[in-house]
Amino acid sequence: MYKDKTSDYFEGVAAKYLRAVDANPNKSNQHEIGGLPSAGFMRFLGTPKEHEKIRFRAKQVYITDESLAPEVSEGRVTWYDVRSYDSKRDPEYRLYYYPNSVTELISEGDFLLIAKMRDGSLLMVFTPPGGTIENQLRLLFGLDHVSGRVKAGSLDNVALLLPLRLMLEGLGLDLGHKDAEDDEWLSRLIKDFGGDKFPSTSIFSDYARKSLTDIIDPVGSPDNAIVGWMEHEEKLFRIYERYLVQQRLRKGFGCEGEDVEAFISFSLSVQNRRKSRVGHAFEGHLSCIFKLHGLNFQQGGGKGFTTENNSKPDFVFPGFMQYRDPEFPLEKLMMLGAKTTCKDRWRQVLSEAYRVKSKHLITLEAAISERQTNEMKSHGLNLVVPLPIQRTYSEEQQGWLLGLSDFIECVRNSQALV
């Protein structure tokens, strides 16, 4: 499983809520962000000499809780002293940014996280305040309360849980950190799968479960098992994917005039495989756990495995035949949606099985905002979060969340009813 930390990729971090002069050109003569030296972040940016301007490559991102994909812009920013021409005044350092598709979206009050990466570039993430994205950024970079002032974060010992890793990769970052054992795993993967293409998700997931050397007890500790299996499979997948992509890039993409379209097609196939595979892997591992616990269930999507309006719930307990039987006791019916990340997609679960009044959704997403979990509660949705990820939620939220073992017990009890 992954052993890297946030500090393997970032040197330092600071965060603030944007003021009007930071975000609104009508209230400032420049596109500038101030206040960063007060957070101790200046040591990562450097101290400009007289009249000097320090330039950084920067990836700027705007993302909301509802975003299907973030808005991303890459360019440069400038760090300088706006008072360098006035020796009678103390220095005032600001970060100048150029207008682009991201900065057009930012507003006063938005949360900004700015991090110095190990390659010397900057990551600047803007998001509306008080949401899940802000919560996850705080968690990822060791940030506690941020008031109107700038706050520095600590990257020491911040582990990259799988949902946080997926979040960073969703922002377009390449987490290519290699462990000493990666080469050994690659040799095994090439030997077992041929080194020319990916096996099916079900085969690869089964391989991940069987090859995990850490002690995993899916019966005694299903919460740790689902997280452990997912992390291990994700690690193996990225090791093997990196190798296969490198092999494809070495071959090239055809003659001039065809190579661009071929490359774009290949790139899209890589992205689509990443998106679809993780969800199927999650469902596959859950299915394995449910079987080991002796639960009666069926997965949606196949012929006949649908509910009203051709909806396809991920799991129905004990099955679709019982669901469609008007004589079958409602108290013995349960359904479970499975989404590695929620966003607004959790609402889909509400309409997937009308006969089941109290629905369940399991997710690997960390630090969902209280605002969103309160909305889930108001709609009667029970959120299931594996215990290793529950610690990223507030104490109040944890009092309401179910673990995977809790959910399994609920199903077992429903199926034991006479």
Q: In angstroms, rounded to a whole number, what is the distance separating the alpha carbons of residues 51 and 345?
A: 51
> Of 80, 323, 354, 393, which is the active-site residue?
323
- State both tokens at 243: 């190798």
Q: Give the span between the Cα atoms of 5 and 1, in whole angstroms.
A: 12
Strands (E), 26-181: 32-34, 53-62, 71-81, 93-97, 111-117, 122-127, 151-152
Distance CA 241, CA 237 (A): 6
Helix (H) / strand (E) containing 316: strand 315-317
Q: Hey, how many other C-beta atoms are within 10 angstroms of the C-beta on 210? A: 7
Look-up: residue for tokens 């600047």?
124
- The whole-angstrom separation of Cα 182 and Cα 243 is 11
Burial class for 1, CB neighbours closer than 10 Å (0-12, 13-18, 19+): middle
Dist. CA 346–CA 378, nearest whole Å: 13
Which contacts of 347-355 are long-range, i.e. CB under 8 A and separated by 24 or more positions?
347/379, 349/313, 349/381, 350/379, 350/381, 351/309, 351/311, 352/300, 352/307, 352/311, 352/312, 352/313, 353/307, 353/308, 353/311, 353/313, 353/316, 353/323, 354/307, 354/308, 355/307, 355/323, 355/330
The C-alpha atoms of residue 48 and residue 163 are separated, in whole angstroms, by 38
What are φ and ψ of residue 247, in 5° steps? Answer: -65, -40
Sequence-distant contacts of 331-334: CB under 8 A, at least 24 apart: 331/414, 331/417, 332/414, 332/415, 332/417, 333/414, 334/360, 334/410, 334/411, 334/414
Buried b (16+ CB within 10 A) or exposed e, 88-105: eeeeebbbbbeebebbee
Is 323 assigned a catalytic role?
A: yes
For the chain, first and last CA: distance in Å?
43
Alpha-carbon distance of 98 to 103, in angstroms, equals: 8
Catalytic positions are 323
